[in-house]
Amino acid sequence: MELVFFLTPKVWCVMLHLLFGQLDLIVAKRKYLNSTVMVALFFTFSMTPLALSQDEETIPIPTQSSSVAIPSDGLYFADIVVRNRPIFQIGSLPQINASARADIINRRIASLLSQNENPDKVNIAPDNPRKIATLRVKNRILMTVTQQDAEDYGITTEELAERWAKQLDTAFDKPPLAIDVTQRLYTTIRELLRDIVGNLPSLIGAIIVVGITWGVAKGVRYGAYTWAKQTEGDSSTELLIGRLSYGAVWVVGFVIALGVMGLDFGALLGALGLTSVAIGFSLKDVLSNYISGVILLAARPFRINDQVVIEDYEGTITQIQLRATTMKTYDGRLVYIPNQEVFQASIINNTASPRRRSSVMVGIDYGEDIGEAIAIIHKVLENIEEVEATPEPDVLVKELAASTVNLEIRFWVDSRRSGFLATTSKVAQAVKEALETANIDMPTDIYTLILRELPNQIQLKES
């Protein structure tokens, strides 16, 4: 196959440098040849086509036996783009694929538009011996129309060159704003539809994988919840196991779906690694709440319906989520506490045990029999059903106060708040009434006032 190559200015400079080096030797011996060589060089330069100064792709002369090489990117045609809008398509050539050829032409057009937003008309320079035509703007080559391009469109080279020149002239003219916006929308929708059609098998496969993942995730969540319900017996742990298994199946399903769509997992992991630090700082509190929720559900310091004290809040736990814990206070208010605060706080679980010890303080006079008072109190506690028989109640001398002997009555009751308060109140009332019936005095605090200097008026009244 016969090829014609254009020499670039850099190649010409190297050739001239070598040639002048040889000429210096010749001139030293034969000075009379100098003028003849200079005339020959000038003639050679004057015959060099203007195309040598252009960075044009190598155009082979197509013959009957030439065949277009299969492009590596699978594209036999590529778009020529002007102002982000495709104008027409060009095909591959024997030594250059369509994408590489379009990139060269698009760079030239972009360079031209960057220097002049409204360039001159496109001129056609036919080369009949080579059966090609070049499209130029002020002797600046934009592209070459080959016989292969003409065969692709089923017309002659001259007709195709005229068509592309008109399309380029129309594209170079800056349209009004409304038309420009419409053209850009059309181009965007066209590219979107082309991408959808090209990736349709991958999209269908990914949708099928997502559907299968949804079904499997629901089944796994139901199975894990049922298993946890039979083994754990704790609703919060059952919810945790069900949610974690459900989320794990969805993660695996998304990974498979992205693989079906052709995603490079190496690039994805690299992007996640680069953004993980920023995401960690921006979502630090949110992630901390979720992690704390998982730890709380796993460690189980309290369960749903437990009555707990968390810092300044006291009430009944109604819901445990991964982000926050919901508490209903004894006055009927709902408090949503972030799990991070719950995890870091000191927790008092009043209902961790089915029984809870309560106490009542009572004071008797110094002149009363302490043993008799203790016996009366024990008898009162035995007659109250809500007081637990085991462990046995205790009545201890707690303090010798200024005017009374204080007795502490300690007994065990139901740990639920309603039963705890009701039984404590009932015990205090019964003890008070029993001691009054036995004529055991329960005096209030006695204060002794010593007046060292009485006023004159009080002294006169006394006298």
- Looking up tokens 């639920």 gives 416
CA separation for the pair 373, 407 (Å, rounded): 9
Give CA–CA dist 126/139, Å, rounded. 13
Contact 412, 356 (CB under 8 A): yes
202: its two tokens: 């991958």
Per-residue pLDDT of the chain in tens (463 residues, 90 and over written 9): 333 334 444 444 445 444 444 444 433 444 433 444 343 434 344 433 333 334 444 444 444 434 445 555 455 788 898 887 788 999 988 888 888 999 999 999 888 888 887 788 899 999 888 889 999 998 889 999 999 999 989 999 999 999 999 988 888 887 677 776 787 788 788 778 877 777 788 888 889 999 999 999 889 888 887 877 776 556 666 777 777 788 889 888 888 888 888 776 666 666 666 566 666 676 777 878 888 888 887 788 888 888 999 988 999 999 888 788 999 998 889 999 998 899 889 899 988 888 889 999 999 999 899 999 999 999 999 999 889 888 899 999 999 988 899 999 999 988 887 778 888 999 999 999 999 999 999 888 777 777 666 666 655 555 5
pLDDT number for residue 56: 45
Residue with tokens 């009957």: 64
Q: How many CB atoms lie within 10 A of CB 255?
A: 15
Q: Could you read off the pLDDT of 81-92 as tens digits, one per residue?
A: 888 778 899 998
CB-CB contact of 410 with 358 (8 Å): yes
Supply the pLDDT for residue 232. Answer: 58
- Paired tokens of 36: 């003849």
Give the span between the Cα atoms of 158 and 163, in whole angstroms. 9
Burial 411-446 (b: 16+ CB within 10 A, else e): bbbbbbbeebeebbebbeebbeebbeeeebeeeeee
Q: How far apart are CA 377 and CA 404, in angstroms?
A: 17
> Which residues on neighbouring strands pair with residue 334, listed in sequence order?
328
Residue 236 has what pLDDT? 64
| pLDDT for the residue 304 | 85
- Residues 105 and 113: their CA atoms lie apart, in Å, by 12
Q: Give strand pairing partners of 166.
A: none
Residues 343-360 have pLDDT tens digits of 889 899 988 888 889 999
- Distance CA(89)–CA(11), nearest Å, equals 32
- Give the number of other Cβ atoms within 10 Å of residue 127's Cβ: 16
Q: Pull the structure tokens for residue 322.
A: 């991964």
Cβ atoms of residues 253 and 217 within 8 Å: yes
> How far apart (Å, rounded) are the C-alpha atoms in residues 343 and 340?
5
pLDDT at 242: 79
- Within 10 angstroms of residue 238's Cβ, the number of other Cβ atoms is 20
Structure-block tokens of residue 364: 């008797």
Helix (H) or strand (E) holding 397: strand 394-400
Residue 152: both structure tokens together: 């692709």
> Residue 28's pLDDT is what?
41
For 174-215, write each residue's pLDDT tens digit: 767 777 678 778 878 877 887 777 778 888 888 999 999 999
Q: Residues 423, 383: contact at Cβ < 8 Å?
A: no
Q: Identify the H or E element spanning 325.
A: strand 324-329
Given a contact cutoff of 8 angstroms between Cβ atoms, the answer to whether 372 and 364 are in contact is no
Angle, CA 402 vertex, CA 401 and CA 406 arms, to 5°: 25
∠23-26-32 over CA atoms, to 5°?
105
